[in-house]
Structures are given as C-alpha cells and as structure tokens.
Amino acid sequence: MEPDLSALGHLGNTSVVGLQWGDEGKGKIVDLLTGQFDYAVRWNGGSNAGHSVQVGAVKYAFHLIPSGILHPHCICVLANGVVIDPIQLVQEIDALAGQGLELRDKLRISSQAHVVLPHHKLQDQLSEGRLGNQRLGTTARGIGPCYADKALRAGALRMADLIDEDRLRSRLPVIVSEKNRLLQRLYDAEPLAWEPIFEQYRGCAEQLREHVCDTTDLLQEAWRNHRRLLFEGANAVLLDLDHGTFPFVTSSNCGTGLSAGAGVPGAALTSILGVAKAYCTRVGAGPFPTEQNNAIGEHLRQRGHEYGTTTGRPRRCGWLDLVALRYAVRVCGVTGLCLMLLDVLSGMDALRLCTAYRHAGRYTEGFPPDAYDLARAEPVYETLPGWSESLEDTTRRADLPANARRYLERIEAFVQTPIRMVSVGAARHQTMTC
C-alpha cells in the first residue's frame, strides 16, 4: 500500500536535508517522493551516509547510491560534491543487481567527484586512534582525509582520472608515495604499494566508466527542460562543516552547499524539506545537550532501533531539542518539516522539549555556534503529556491522539515552520502528509 501524498500538492525542485545529527529518515522521505521526480541527486558526503529504505519486507541500506533508485523512471546522480569510494560503490551496484535492480541507464556519476583512496581510510583510522579520548568518532570511511586532499589539490584524484587508465597509472604512484611519506612519519604506518591499488581501482573503473559524465551539464539541461529534480542531502545540518558543532562534524557542507555540490543554483529550488526525528540521536562524539544517558535514552534506543546504518554503533538518544532544530531550519531555509519516528514516543507518560539553554548564568533561546559552549549549555525543558496509543496504523494527522497532535503543534509554533509529513513507521505507507 502506498501513502497518499496528494496533500503535498505539486512539489517543484526539492531539496531534502537532515536537520539534526544524521539518521533522521532522509532515505525514507527521498524514496517516497521520488515517484514525483525525474532525477534524484546526491551532492555531498560519501559512504559515511547510511540511508535506509524499507519496501514491504525488503530493507535497503544505501551509502552512495541515491535513495530514489527503486523508482524505475528516475535518473540517479552522484554530483561533484560527493566523495566516492569506488569499491563501496561497485559493491552497492552489485548488491542491487543481485536483487534484480539493473542500474545501467539510471546512474550518472560526476567526472569531477573526488575519489576516496585506501590511504584516506587508513589515515582516518590512524588519526582517530591517535586522538584517543579526543577522537571525533568518525565512520572511518576516509571522508575527512579525502575532502582535505581535495582542498589541498595536489594529492587528489577525481573520477575523470580514475576512468582514464593512463592518467590513473601516472597519478597514483606519485599520490601514494607522497601519502606514504606523511603516514610513515606521522603514524609509523607501513607504506602502501601503489600497484595493488592500481589493479583494484582499475577493476572498479571498468564497471563505473559507463556511468561517468558531466553531471553539472546534465542537471543544468534537465532544469532548463523543466525536468523535476530532487536533491538528497547526506549527513545533517548539525554535522555541517561550517554550521555544525565543529569540530564534531563531517567534512562537507550538509544543509548548506547544494549549489556547490550539484552545480545547480539554490534559486532552482521551490521546496526545502527538513527531516527531523521526534526526538534526537547522535552517533560519534560531540555535544548533545538533551542526551539521556539513562533509562529514557535506552528506551528510545530500543524502541527506535537506534543503531547506526553505516557502522552499527548504538546511537546516543535524547529529547527533541527545539533550539537546535530552529537553528537548523533557519540555516537551510526549510519550507516544510518531515517529522519522523513519532511512533517511538508512544507509551511515555511525559515528553520533554528543550526550548532554551542556560549557559554561563544566562538564559538563551539561541544555538551557540561553538561546541565548547554547547557542551556546557544546560537545556531548559517544557513538558507535554504523552500518549499511550500505538500510531503505526494512523494515516491522517487528524486521527492522531490529541496529545500527539499537541506535540506536533508545539514544534510548529516554536520552529515557525509547518510539518508537511509525519512518519509513524519505517514502511512507505506509515506516512501522513499535511
């Protein structure tokens, strides 16, 4: 059974972004909306993302492939701003082929997207190991080192280099040798040999070559021809390199940055849908004012199955932080909210919402941009009554228990943004539109 999305009306070019610390349910929303779109575009991040889509009894976990892939008519694009681990991408393509999904005419990969190399993953792990209890808790997918090399330029490899065997053969030995010098001196690492990397990456290039093109041109052409574009943000605003809880962030812009990552100006968008859980989670280190390191957090983790899609790590859980949510909405210019996992809150007597912080003796409704300050901010809570009914079968917002409706209304009033979708289960049909 498919949900009735008619209340959303006609969505023009739309961006879907995560508003918290990731794993809000972006994959589910993108899968649902893709039926209305011609292109589904990833424009940031890499295989640190883990986007789950559940169709009937089948569960998919996408790391690089856009979550729109299950819709046969839709072209899926990995644009310039994505960092691509070719080994992971080939694995995902093969796994989908094993499930009967052939990507030949559906996948386009930017020739200008940067390639994650084995030394990026190694450097990520070694750096985290060296930092000890000051580690960031990265996904160890080589994301930070790859984006760093992109910014440094000299040691970087792009998809255009990967699929041209001569270029790969001439660039790789230089890149690997430079990186070996660095990793040996910094971490006493064993040097990597470039030849096996060349062989493995040449094999991946064989499989990926047919998908590689100028995706900026492709998307510009599609936009001019009034084709419908859906952009899938990876990671989330509070993990954004410039606007998140630095340094406990990822290495790309996640809420902001779409025009750089996709080569399509923000003016092309008519809707920006922000995805948020009805509570908060975070994986990895960093401040989380409303974290419940107690029975409440454990209850949310068990009910919400809060374990990472990419790393399997238990997610830290806590109350919904409206101060952080409003900040994220404003930074991205969100036009509508998708509120996810509302079902998880059923059965709790009272629900707390953070509406301000107390910090250094002061009361503030603003989100401190500095992680050090945020770590010391004490949440100020409002308490709303909970509801006991299970929500999994509810199909209209008006049919939700009165206290659940009150919870949604309080969120809208605080954040000053309408809720357009409410999700009460992982399945497609467990979604209401408003």
**Position 110 contacts Mg ion (CB under 5 A):** no
Q: State which residue, 194 or 327, has the beta carbon closest to ligand IMO.
A: 327
CB of 354 to Mg ion, least distance (A): 23
Our measurement of the distance from residue 221's CA atom to the centroid of its chain's CA atoms, rounded to an integer in Å, reads: 26
Binding mask 21-40 for Mg ion (x = CB under 5 A): --x-----------------
- HEC states along the chain? CCCCCHHHCCCCCEEEEECCCCCCCHHHHHHHHHHHCCEEEECCCCCCCCEEEEECCEEEEECCCCHHHHCCCCEEEECCCCEECHHHHHHHHHHHHHCCCCCCCCEEEECCCEECCHHHHHHHHHHHHHHHHHCCCCCCCCHHHHHHHHHHCCCCCEHHHHCCHHHHHHHHHHHHHHHHHHHHHHHCCCCCCHHHHHHHHHHHHHHHHHHEECHHHHHHHHHHCCCCEEEECCCCHHHCCCCCCCCCCCCCCCCCCHHHHHCCCHHHCCEEEEEEECCEEECCCCCCCCECCCHHHHHHHHHCCCECCCCCCECEEECEEHHHHHHHHHHHCCCEEEEECHHHHCCCCEEEEEEEEEECCEEECCCCCCHHHHHHCEEEEEEEECCCCCCCCCCCHHHCCHHHHHHHHHHHHHHCCCEEEEECCCECCCEEEC
**Position 28 contacts ligand GDP (CB under 6 A):** yes
List the interface residues with Mg ion, window 4-23 (CB under 5 A): 23
Among residues 23, 85, 149, 240, the one annotated as catalytic is 23
Q: State which residue, 148 or 160, has the beta carbon closest to ligand IMO.
A: 148
CB of 60 to ligand IMO, least distance (A): 13
Q: Which does 213 bind (CB under 5 to 8 A by kind): Mg ion, ligand IMO, ligand GDP, none?
A: none
Choice from 46, 50, 274, 318 touching Mg ion (CB under 5 A): 50
Distance separating alpha carbons of residues 10 and 146, to the nearest angstrom: 38
Q: Which does 25 bind (CB under 5 to 8 A by kind): ligand GDP, ligand IMO, Mg ion, none?
A: ligand GDP
Active site residue 23: yes
Candidate segments 48-56, 130-138, 149-157, 344-352, binder of Mg ion by CB under 5 A = 48-56
**Position 340 contacts ligand GDP (CB under 6 A):** yes
Active site residue 85: no
Q: Which does 138 bind (CB under 5 to 8 A by kind): Mg ion, ligand GDP, ligand IMO, none?
A: ligand IMO
**Position 428 contacts ligand GDP (CB under 6 A):** no
Binding mask 279-318 for ligand GDP (x = CB under 6 A): -------------------------x----x---------
CB of 309 to Mg ion, least distance (A): 4
Choice from 42, 426, 428, 433 touching ligand GDP (CB under 6 A): 426
Q: State which residue, 286 or 368, has the beta carbon closest to ligand GDP.
A: 286
Q: Which does 341 bind (CB under 5 to 8 A by kind): ligand GDP, Mg ion, ligand IMO, none?
A: ligand GDP
Candidate segments 19-27, 282-290, 377-385, 410-418, binder of ligand GDP by CB under 6 A = 19-27
**Position 341 contacts ligand GDP (CB under 6 A):** yes
Active site residues: 23, 51
Residues that bind ligand GDP (CB under 6 A): 18, 22-28, 50-52, 54, 304, 309, 340-341, 343-344, 423-426
